[in-house]
Amino acid sequence: MVETVETYDGWYALHDFRTMDWEKWEHASETTREKALHELRALLDQWQVVEDQKQGSHKLYSIVGQKADLLFMVLRPEMKDLNQLENALNKTAFAHFTKPAYSFVSIIEKSSYTKPETDPYQNPDMVKKLFPTIPNEDYICFYPMSKLRAENHNWYQLEKEERGRMMFDHIKTAKPFTENVKRIITGAMGLDDYEWGVSLFCDDPLHFKKLIYDTRFDEVSARYGIFGSFYIGHRIQPTDVERYFTIK
């Protein structure tokens, strides 16, 4: 039997992508738009209270390209918390102007190919990684991914040492980018269609391109990586929410 790798799990994560019905929004009365924005701001304020209490985190992004318009990225202690906040968002007047574009449900995950010397949940550095605040960088790059399970190349039939070797090589390639690019890795086995979600954060999106280009040459990516769609977003600051939705 192939030896598995122990994972350590933190907050649950929801990446909720939405498309705005800009025509409907433009033709709505000013009163209707004001009500919708008021309910959206009130919901974001509630989420900020949760974040201030260190019981989760959230960010709102404007998506570049035609795959979506908005991304609500939210972290919470329990799955039911994500369900409740998603339902609350769907019940707002603002939600009537949006359509689902894509979503990804997962949980923050850290794994190790070596046995830790101490309990990871008692390690302050590990706790910060499992229960983080979403970085404040201007841009996000999100993509889902899985490992290949083909007849000739099956990640899950490789010995643990071989998987570890490739992952350490992958980490080595990415290390020069850690100063500029932060990341949150989430596991989604049994929760969504892909096995992991990768959220990268930086102030210059060119770093996304260079990082992903370099790591594509790693054996773990070149031979075993299966990637979904890539989404690039620019952070909408709380003070910029109203300006983003203003019809000129």
What residues does each domain of the chain span?
7-244
Angle, helices 160-174/206-216, rounded to nearest 10 degrees: 150
Q: What angle do CA 119, 172, 205 make, to 5 degrees?
A: 105
Coil, helix or strand at residue 168: helix
How far is the C-alpha of 105 from the C-alpha of 191, rounded, in Å?
Answer: 6
Which residues form the catalytic set? Answer: 143
The per-residue pLDDT for 116 is 77
Q: What angle do CA 114, 115, 120 make, to 5 degrees?
A: 115
Angle, helices 30-52/79-90, rounded to nearest 10 degrees: 160
Phi and psi angles of residue 241, each rounded to the nearest 5 degrees, phi first: -60, -50
The per-residue pLDDT for 231 is 98
pLDDT beneath 70, residues of the chain: none
The hierarchical CATH code for the domain 7-244 is 3.30.70.1030
Core vs surface per residue 150-185: b (16+ CB within 10 A) or e: eeeeebeebeeeebeebbeebeebbeebeebbbbbb
Phi and psi angles of residue 80, each rounded to the nearest 5 degrees, phi first: -65, -25
Coil, helix or strand at residue 121: helix
Residue located via tokens 């040492």? 161
How far is the C-alpha of 70 from the C-alpha of 241, rounded, in Å?
Answer: 11
How far is the C-alpha of 169 from the C-alpha of 175, rounded, in Å?
Answer: 10
The per-residue pLDDT for 112 is 80
The per-residue pLDDT for 87 is 97
CA 121 to chain CA centroid, Å, is 22
How far is the C-alpha of 204 from the C-alpha of 97, rounded, in Å?
Answer: 30
51 within 8 A of 133, measured Cβ to Cβ:
yes
Tokens representing 225 are 């990586």
The per-residue pLDDT for 151 is 86
Burial class (CB in 10 A: 0-12, 13-18, 19+), 231: buried
